[in-house]
Amino acid sequence: MKQTRAGNIVRIALRLLGYQLVFGFISFMIMPALMDANPAIRILLAGVIVAAACLFTFLDGTYQGERDVAMSRRLSKLEAKGVYTPDKEENARRYRPMNGVYAMLLGALPLFSISLYVALTAQPYAYTPQDLPSWLGTYMQRAEVGDALAYAGNLSITTTPTDYLRVAVRFMLFGYLGLAGSLSDAGSLLFDRLSPVLALIVPAMFAIGYLFGPVRFARNQKVVDEAKRRPRKRLKKSVREKQAQNREKKQLI
């Protein structure tokens, strides 16, 4: 199957989407048990999970960037020598800084779109009274009590698409819920409003890491060059020592 620049970006985007699913699943398996734990322990462990997800995605970005830089350098050297002309498939694997940004945007698009819809349509939680205690019946004749309860009782609360989509968003962002802990009604609404921003954090780390690809390539290339120079230095040193020994022997003769 031939590779194209768009195809490579789509493959990376799907990989980023998989990372987000894994991040949400791991957080969902661990965080519920920590909700009632000491806040310091809960925040520490949740922070470790979030930081690990960000670091892993960042390192994957640097690795992908390094591979693309290496391909670009190799093709450029061959072109400069005039011995080879890269085809479209090889040119598609060249390093381009915007590749990481495009992959990040495409990989974050599903979760970002859903979380943005939830953020725009989320409403404060509403409650309807259930069975009232018997002693409250004596106060029902008072207008400030009876009218308020009658109004609350006439409210109809229905499940909306936002409620179902909120479950998916909370699952994917469960690690950040671990940092926040138990949410009040106002806190839950605030989390819904912030969820689009939170959905971009992990994918953005890949784009940042991809931009560091040339730095990683240069560092590794420096290590390789030094490793190549060491045997030469040892060989030159041994030759000089042998020449010095030969001169000493000639002088003694």
Looking at per-residue confidence, does 134 or 99 come out higher?
Answer: 99
Amino acid identity for residue 24 in this structure? G
Say how far residue 4 (Cα) sits from the centre of its chain: 24
Residue 117: the pLDDT is 94
Report CA-CA distances (Å) from 210 to 97, 134, 252. Answer: 7, 66, 64
Q: 5: exposed, middle or buried (C-beta count within 10 Å: 0-12, 13-18, 19+)?
A: middle
Report CA-CA distances (Å) from 81 to 84, 194, 198, 236. Answer: 8, 53, 48, 30
Residue 112: the pLDDT is 95
pLDDT 10s digits, 131-140? 555 545 555 5
Two tokens, residue 236: 């030159």
Looking at per-residue confidence, does 196 or 128 come out higher?
Answer: 196
Which pLDDT band, with edges at 50, 70 and 90, does 211 fall under? very high
Share of the chain above pLDDT 70, in %: 75
Which pLDDT band, with edges at 50, 70 and 90, does 155 fall under? very low
Q: Dihedral, CA atoms, 39, 45, 48, 54, nearest 10 degrees?
A: -80
Looking at per-residue confidence, does 237 or 168 come out higher?
Answer: 168
- Using the predicted structure, report yes or no on whether residue 96 has a pLDDT greater than 60: yes
Q: Mind spelling out the 3-state secondary structure of 25-70?
A: HHHHHHHHHHCCCCHHHHHHHHHHHHHHHHHHHHHHHHHHHHHHHH
Mean pLDDT of 2-7: 82
Domain ranges of the chain: 5-211
Report CA-CA distances (Å) from 28 to 57, 96, 204. Answer: 19, 36, 22
Q: 95: exposed, middle or buried (C-beta count within 10 Å: 0-12, 13-18, 19+)?
A: buried
Looking at per-residue confidence, does 253 or 92 come out higher?
Answer: 92
- Using the predicted structure, report yes or no on whether residue 56 has a pLDDT greater than 60: yes
Pair 101, 207: CB distance under 8 Å: yes
Pair 149, 132: CB distance under 8 Å: yes
Two tokens, residue 135: 């002693």
Lowest mean pLDDT of 5-9, 180-184, 238-242, name the range.
238-242
Two tokens, residue 17: 């989407």
Mean pLDDT of 182-210: 90
Two tokens, residue 235: 């060989």
pLDDT 10s digits, 60-89? 999 999 999 988 888 888 777 777 777 788
Any idea which residue has 């998989």 for tokens?
Answer: 18
Which pLDDT band, with edges at 50, 70 and 90, does 238 fall under? low
Two tokens, residue 198: 């939170």
Rounded distance between C-alpha atoms, residue 91 and residue 5, angstroms = 8
Amino acid identity for residue 83 in this structure? V
